Structure 1
Amino acid sequence: MIIDSHQHFWYYKPEKHGWIDDNMSVIRRDFTPSDLKTVYKENGIDGCVAVQADQTLAETEFLLSLSAKNDFIKGVVGWVDLQDEQVADVLEEYGRHNKIKGFRHIVQGEADHNFVLRPKFMRGISALEKHQFTYDILVFPHQLGSTLEFVRKFPNQKFVIDHIAKPYIKDGFFDGWASMMTEIGKHENVSCKLSGMITEADFKTWTAAQLEPYMQVVLKAFGSYRLLFGSDWPVCLVAGNYKQVKDLITDFIASLSATEQADIMGQNAIKFYNL
C-alpha cells in the first residue's frame, strides 16, 4: 500500500495564504480532495495524511471534515495551540476523533531559534503522549540545534521531521545540515519525511542527481524503517508534477529490498500515524 504522508488542502484566500508569493503563483487557487483523488488515481496512491497549512483550530476542523467525507484521507495532522494552558483539555477532545493522528506548529516561521525549547511549548508537547498523538517537526536547518535538544527531552514522543528539515539546496548548503540530521537520526523516536525537496532546490533547474546526496544522508541517518514518502502536494507543483516527485523517491530507493521500499512508500506511515 502506498501512502502519501504529507499533503495539504485549502480554499485559497490571499490574506490567509500570504506565504504563497509571486514565484509560487501556480498554487494560488483551491486544492480539494476531488483534485487529489484524480492525481492519486493516475499515480497509484492508496491514501494520504492531510497536514495543516494554517495555524487555527478551524483548520483542524476543516481537515477532519474532509477526512470524514473522503476515505482515502487516512489521517490528519492538525494544529492546536500547544502553549495554551488549557491544551490538555483540547487534546482530550481531539482524542475522541479517530482520524486525527497528530499535530504540527509552523516553527520555521518563528523568529526565535529556540522556540521548541520554550517551557510552555514543551508542556504542550508533554501532553501529546497520553493520547498517542504524533508531532510533525517543521523547521529550517538553522533551527536543528534546538531541535536536537528538543527531541532528547521527549524520548517517548513520536516525532517526524518534515521535508528533511528544508536544507538550502538551491544555495548548496549541506555540511552543517547533514551533521545535525545525523545526530537527530540517532534518536529512535524520530522519523523523517522524504518530501519537500524539489521546492528547496531551484524550481526550474533541479535534478535528481543534485538531490541524491541529501537523500543519502537521511537514509543513512534514519534507516529505511524511519523514512516516509511524502509529496507535499500541492506545494510541490511550483517545481514539478506529482509523478516527478514520486519518481524521485522510487528511483532513489530502487536498489533497496522490496520490503524496505514498501516501508518507505507506505508501511512506515501506517505504523507512525497508526492509520
Structure 2
Amino acid sequence: MTPRIDAHQHVWTLARGDYGWLTPALGSIYRDATPDELAPLLAANGIARTILVQAAPTEAETAFLLGVAARTPYVAGVVGWCDFAAPEAGLRIAALARDPLLVGLRPMVQDIPDTGWLARPELAPAFSALIGAGLVFDALLKTPHIPAMLRVLDRHPDLACVIDHAAKPDLTRGDLGAWRDGIAALAAHPQVMCKLSGLVTEAGPDWTLATLRPVVEHLLAVFGPQRLVFGSDWPVVTLRASYGSWVETAQALLADLAPAERAAVFGGNAARLYLGRRGRAATQQG
C-alpha cells in the first residue's frame, strides 16, 4: 500500500523574524509551530510522510527547513525559496539543489503586487534551472495570477508544477466563474498537478461540505484523481478546522473515487511529483 503523504505543511519559529505575513492578527497561529506538535496528528490520521513548505521569502528559512527535515524522519522533502528575479538565480537554484531533501521551490507569488510577475523574461533562467535540477515549482497563486502562469507553462513545457491550494478560490463570495476557467486552462497542461489543500481557510468560519464540494468536483473534472495531491496546510488550516477534521473532510469529498484513486490523491501522486523526480534528475546528471 502507498504510504499516505501530507504534501503541504509548515513549521516556523517566530524568533527567526522573517515571516512578514505572520502577525498577531492571525491569533492562534501566531506562535511557534514545531515538528513535535505535528507528529501525533500525523499518527492519529495515518499520515506517514510530509512535504515541508516554505513560509518566508528567504534562503535562510530554506536552510532552516532543510535542517528540520534532516532531523525529522517523517519529512520526506522540502519546498524552499529562492529569489527567481536575481541575476544569479540559476546558480543559486543549482546550489540549493545539492541538498537531496530539497524537492521544490516556491516564490510567494500571491504577495507580489504585479500579477504578471511570473511571466517576466528575466525569470526564465530560474525556471530552466528548476527543470535541470528536477525540482518542482510550487505555484502559490490566486486567480489573477493564472494568465502569467499559463505563459510560463507555454514557455517551459517540461516544468513540473503543482498549484498550491487550488489557486485559492474565493469561497466567501461564491463567484467562481473566473477561477473555474483559469483552473481548467492550467489543467490542460499535462505536467501540472493541483493540491487539495487550503480550501477551508478560503471559506468562512461556517463552511460545510456543501461549501467545498463544487470546488472539489471541478478539480476532479479537470485534473482527475491522478493529478490531485492531498495537503493539510498545517498549522494554517487550524484557523478553520482541526487537522483531523480536514482529513475527514477531504476523505468525504473523495468518497466516490475508487480505492486506488483515493490512494493516489492521499500519497501516490505526491510521491510521483516530489520524490521520484529528484532520483531521475540525479541519474540524468550522473
Give the alignment's TM-score, normalised by structure 2. 0.92
Q: What displacement does 1:272 show?
A: 0.1
Q: Which residue of 2 aligns with 1:60?
A: 62
Distance 1:23 1:59 in 2: 22
The one-character-per-residue Cα deviations of 1:66-99 (angstroms, maximum 9, x if unpaired) are 0110110000000111122222222222232111
Q: Does 1:159 align with 2:161?
A: yes
Q: Which residue of 2 aligns with 1:234?
A: 235
Q: Which residue of 2 aligns with 1:257?
A: 258
Partner amino acid, structure 2, of 1:71: P
Distance 1:180 1:95 in 2: 31
Partner amino acid, structure 1, of 2:235: P
Partner amino acid, structure 2, of 1:143: H
**Larger displacement relative to structure 2 (127-136 or 157-166):** 127-136
Q: Does 1:99 align with 2:125?
A: no
Partner amino acid, structure 1, of 2:57: Q
Partner amino acid, structure 1, of 2:275: N
Matched residue SS, 2:93: helix
Q: What displacement does 1:242 show?
A: 0.3
Matched residue SS, 2:256: coil
Quote the RMSD (CA, aligned, Å): 1.4
Mapped contact 2:209–2:249 kept (Cα < 8 A) = yes
How many residues in Structure 1 have an aligned counterpart in Structure 2?
274
**Larger displacement relative to structure 2 (221-230 or 21-30):** 21-30
Query: Which segments of 5 or more consecutive residues in structure 2 lack a partner in the other structure?
Result: 277-286
Which residues in structure 2 correspond to 1:104-123 (within 5 Å)? 104-123=106-125
**Larger displacement relative to structure 2 (123-132 or 193-202):** 123-132
Q: What displacement does 1:24 show?
A: 2.3
Mapped contact 2:80–2:105 kept (Cα < 8 A) = yes
The one-character-per-residue Cα deviations of 1:145-189 (angstroms, maximum 9, x if unpaired) are 222222222111100000000011111121110011011101001
Q: Which residue of 2 aligns with 1:49?
A: 51
Q: What displacement does 1:44 show?
A: 1.2
Q: Does 1:20 align with 2:22?
A: yes
Distance 1:227 1:175 in 2: 20
Q: What displacement does 1:124 show?
A: 1.0
Q: What displacement does 1:22 show?
A: 5.3
Distance 1:92 1:148 in 2: 24
Structure 2 vs 1, CA of residues 14 and 86 (structure 1 numbering), >3 Å: closer, same or farther?
closer
Pick the aligned partner of 1:148 from 145, 150, 156. Answer: 150
Distance 1:68 1:18 in 2: 25
Matched-pair identity in %: 34
Q: Which residue of 1 aligns with 2:136?
A: 134
Q: Which residue of 1 aligns with 2:282?
A: none
Partner amino acid, structure 2, of 1:227: L
Partner amino acid, structure 2, of 1:271: R
Mapped contact 2:94–2:129 kept (Cα < 8 A) = no
Distance 2:112 2:215 in 1: 25
Matched residue SS, 2:14: coil
Distance 1:104 1:52 in 2: 7
**Larger displacement relative to structure 2 (3-12 or 37-46):** 37-46
Give the alignment's TM-score, normalised by structure 1. 0.96
